[in-house]
Amino acid sequence: MEAEEMELFGIWSSPYVLRVIWALNIKKIKYKYIEEDLNNKSNLLLHYNPVYKKVPVLVYKGKPICESMIIVEFIEETWKNDSIFPKDPYEKAKARFLAKFVEDKLSPPMWRFFTTKGKDQEEAYESFTDYLAILERELEGKEFFGGENIGFVDILLGCMSYVVPIYEEITDFEIITKEKFPLLHAWMQAFLSSDIVRDNLPPRDELLYRYRKIREAFLSKDN
Amino acid sequence: MESHKGVTLLDFWVSPFGQRARIAMAEKGIEFEYKEENLAQKSELLLKMNPVHKKIPVLVHDGKPVCESLIIVQYIEEAWPEKTPLLPSDPYQRAQARFWADFVDKKVYDCGTRLWKTKGEEKEAAKKEFIEILQVLESELGDKKYFGGETFGYVDVAFVPFTAWFHSYESEAGFSVEESVPKISAWAKRCGERESVKKHLYEKEKVYEFVCMLKKRLGIE
């Protein structure tokens, strides 16, 4: 397949875009990447995603697919090599459930933790560490959530592997350590060093700068 | 539960999320045991089967739980592949169906709830937003018989339970679904003629009675 058949509209810092990139890498699919400016969205992006006007958008043979989880499922169903999902319907349902759990339950308090201070931050920290414990249990006996290979849940949770150390550095909190969450800690290292992910991460310095600015902006709003 | 074989649905009568699972199984001719939960006093079974969220619906198939309504519907689709499919076979069409079911999931329930939970300016804003959501859905439906095209499909299953709440939303917020989105209104009536929908949705008055009871309990005028 020519790279032109597959286009990905994204922004360098978006974890949602990265999910799609990692999925494309698992399937060894070539693609053309188009960097969007969210303050000046291209006509193409607005045409391809009129409902949400967001990235990522995958365009395959001229037809757009939106929403990162849905894009990953589309990639899985269109290319049969290197499965991202389990084959068994029950195991697949479990993977979808865990992915949704990461999106709906884990992410909001993590964001709240990062954008607040004092009591609000402490409460958010308690909340999401309870949820991390659930994920820790799911990893028992496995290197990745997908088993021996990176799968759907790994892709969905994947951005934590590079965002958590940044949060830790900026807030001075310990979040995922070898002592607290040994399996998640090992998972982070394995994920970051895998072929699929290693060369497809946002530049750390730029992310650090960006996240610092975000936290400053939120904390100054409260004053 | 005596047997670990077969299909049981832990549910709550008026839940549109539970109804998605009921309707999907009815469409596919899958027999299941319905178990009504008392949400004020959740059963041990529910807490055991859904320890993370402690919510209904939960589908228990041969003793194994599946949670989250759209995940349940997709599971039903995949575990009984020999039955009439709700999703198209083409991956691109499937992605579109998932997109629209996800849109319904993200938008309809939360905004709909604000129609009866809020007052004054907040309610007006919610009404405006809700009509816009319906208009986006109407645009997607177009002149098709169902969201699935000629056949009742995944998006229809995702959205149809909320049609039983239209009357409540209209009464609370002061608008008409038929006037705002006539194609959606016609689609709702067409769906209402299906056996699966007739069997598993409650009459609009009963749903409204429930909403009024909730309002009272929550101290909302």
pLDDT tens, position by position, B42-80:
999 999 999 999 999 999 999 999 999 999 999 999 999
Does A53 touch chain B if contact means CB atoms closer than 8 Å? Answer: no
Q: Starting at the edge strand that comes first in sequence, how are the strands of the sheet with A57-60 ordered?
A: A32-35, A6-10, A57-60, A63-66
Query: For A76-124, what is each residue's pLDDT tens digit?
Result: 999 999 999 999 999 999 999 999 999 999 999 999 999 999 999 999 9
According to the model, what pLDDT value does residue A221 have? Answer: 84
ipTM, two decimals: 0.94
pTM: predicted TM-score of the whole model, two decimal places: 0.95
Contacts of A100 in chain B (CB under 8 A): 68, 71
Does the structure show a pLDDT above 60 at B1? no
Contacts of B126 (CB under 8 A, 6+ apart): B111, B114, B115, B118, B173
According to the model, what pLDDT value does residue B5 have? Answer: 65
Contact A92/B91, CB-based, under 8 Å?
no
**Of A67, A74, A89, Cβ closest to residue B78:** A89
Interface of B with A in 45-104 (CB under 8 A): 52, 61, 64, 66-68, 71-72, 74-75, 78-79, 91-92, 94-96, 98-99, 102-103
**Of B61, B64, B95, Cβ closest to residue A74:** B95
Contact A96/B71, CB-based, under 8 Å?
yes
According to the model, what pLDDT value does residue B221 have? Answer: 76
Q: How close does chain B come to A100, measured CA to CA in Å?
A: 9
- Pair A51, A102: CB distance under 8 Å: no
**Interatomic CA distance for residues B99 and A30, integer angstroms:** 24
Query: For A121-138, what is each residue's pLDDT tens digit?
Result: 999 999 999 999 999 999
**Interatomic CA distance for residues A174 and A27, integer angstroms:** 35
Query: For B178-197, what is each residue's pLDDT tens digit?
Result: 999 999 999 999 999 999 99
Does the structure show a pLDDT above 70 at A34? yes
